[in-house]
Amino acid sequence: MTITQQKLIHALNNEVRLAILETLKSGSKNVTELTEKINSSQSNISQHLACLRDCKLITQNRRGKYYYYQLATPEITHLLAEMDLVIKSLNWKNNEVSVACKSDMP
């Protein structure tokens, strides 16, 4: 696995970051709007936005006194849709799936 693949997986490997990306699929949002949509504090959202910016999955632009965040490329929407297709093909159900694998591997 390449370092760039690892970076992408790291960016996607968090419930809040995924929620941010899912929310931004419908268009740009500021931190207050994201906080209202996602059950998390403003400081937590801001930290995850910084990670997503660092990974170049989102961009920000200033409008007046607020920063607005949007997906960096349409391919991110495609990636999220492909993830959903893979999950559907595996017949995973939210209430039946554990995040951790059952093996003893670290």
Segments forming the whole domain that contains residue 31:
3-89
Count structural domains, the chain.
1
* Spatial separation of the C-alpha atoms in residues 6 and 1, rounded to whole Å: 7
Query: Is residue 93's pLDDT more than 90?
Result: no
What is the pTM (predicted TM-score) of this model? 0.88
Per the domain annotation, does 102 fall within a domain?
Answer: no
CATH, residue 62 = 1.10.10.10
Per the domain annotation, does 49 fall within a domain?
Answer: yes
Task: Name the more confident of 88 and 97.
Answer: 88
For the stretch 31-90, pLDDT in tens is 999 999 998 999 999 999 999 999 999 999 999 999 999 999 999 999 999 999 998 999
Per the domain annotation, does 16 fall within a domain?
Answer: yes
Name residue, tokens 């995850």: 48
